[in-house]
Amino acid sequence: MKEFNIQSVDKSLQTSIQDKIDNLNKPKGSLGRLEELALQICLIQQTLEPSLSHPCHLLLGGDHGIEREGVSVSPREVTWQQMINFTRGGGGVNMFCRQHGFKLRIVDVGVDYDLSAVPGIIDRKIARGTRNFLYEPAMSKEEFDHAIMVGVELVDDCLQEGCHVLCIGEMGIANTSPSSIWMHLFCNIPLAECIGAGAGLNNEGIRHKYEVLSKAMERYKASSLGGRLEGAVRYFGGFEMVAAIGAMLRAAEQHLIILVDGFIMTACALAATRLYPAAQEYMIFTHCGDESGHKKMLEAMEAKPLLHLGLRLGEGTGALCAFPIIDSAVRMVNEMNNFQNAQITKYF
Amino acid identity, position 256 = L
Give the pairing type, strands 56-62 and 103-110. Answer: parallel
Q: What is the pLDDT of residue 345?
A: 73
What is the per-residue pLDDT for 186?
97
The 121-123 sheet, strands edge to edge: 121-123, 103-110, 56-62, 165-171, 257-260, 283-285
Residue 314, pLDDT > 90, answer no
**CA–CA separation, 71 vs 213, rounded Å?**
9
For residue 291, the model assigns a pLDDT of: 74
pLDDT tens for 101-138 read 999 999 999 999 999 999 999 999 999 999 999 999 99
Q: Indicate the residue type of 26.
A: K
Q: Considering 3, 211, 315, 335, which one is annotated as catalytic?
A: 315
State in Å, rounded, how far the first CA of the chain is from the last one.
52
Q: What's the average model confidence in pLDDT over 170-191?
A: 96
Q: Which of the residue ranges 212-216, 280-284, 306-310 would you say has the lowest mean pLDDT?
A: 306-310
What's the half-sphere exposure (Cβ side, CA atoms, 13 Å) at 91? 26
Q: Is the pLDDT of residue 342 over 80?
A: no
Please list, in sequence order, all residues whose beta carbon lies within 8 angstroms of the beta carbon of residue 151, skipping any fewer than 6 positions away.
58, 60, 242, 243, 244, 245, 246, 247, 248, 249, 250
Per residue in 144-166, pLDDT (tens digit) is 999 999 999 999 999 999 999 99
State the pLDDT at residue 216. 98
- Portion of the chain with pLDDT greater than 70, in percent: 98
CA atoms within 13 Å, Cβ hemisphere of 180: 28
Nearest to 71 by CA among 186, 247, 197, 258: 197
Q: What is the mean pLDDT of residues 196-202?
A: 77
Residue 196: half-sphere exposure toward Cβ, Cα within 13 Å: 21
Sign of the alpha-carbon dihedral angle for 230, 233, 236, 239: negative
Model pLDDT, residue 341? 78
Strands, E, within 224-317: which ranges? Answer: 257-260, 283-285
> Mean of the per-residue pLDDT values for the chain?
95
pLDDT at residue 307, as a whole number? 95
Instruction: Over range 92-109, report the average pLDDT.
Output: 97
Would you give the DSSP letter of residue 238? -
Q: Domain ranges for the chain, please list them.
A: 14-50+332-342, 56-325
Query: For residue 340, what pLDDT is reported?
Result: 78
pLDDT-derived band at 18, boundaries 50, 70, 90: very high
What is the per-residue pLDDT for 199? 66
Confidence band for 197, pLDDT divided at 50, 70 and 90? confident
SS3 assignment, position 202:
coil
Given CATH 3.40.50.300, say whether it is the number of domain 56-325. Answer: no
Q: Each residue of 260-290: pLDDT tens digit? A: 999 999 999 999 999 999 999 999 999 998 7
Any catalytic annotation for residue 36? no
Q: Is the pLDDT of residue 198 over 80?
A: no
3-state secondary structure of 242: helix
For residue 65, CA distances in Å to 110, 239, 347 come to: 11, 11, 62
Q: What is the DSSP string of 102-154?
A: PEEEEEEEE-SS--TTSTTEEE--SSSS---TTTS-SS-HHHHHHHHHHHHHH
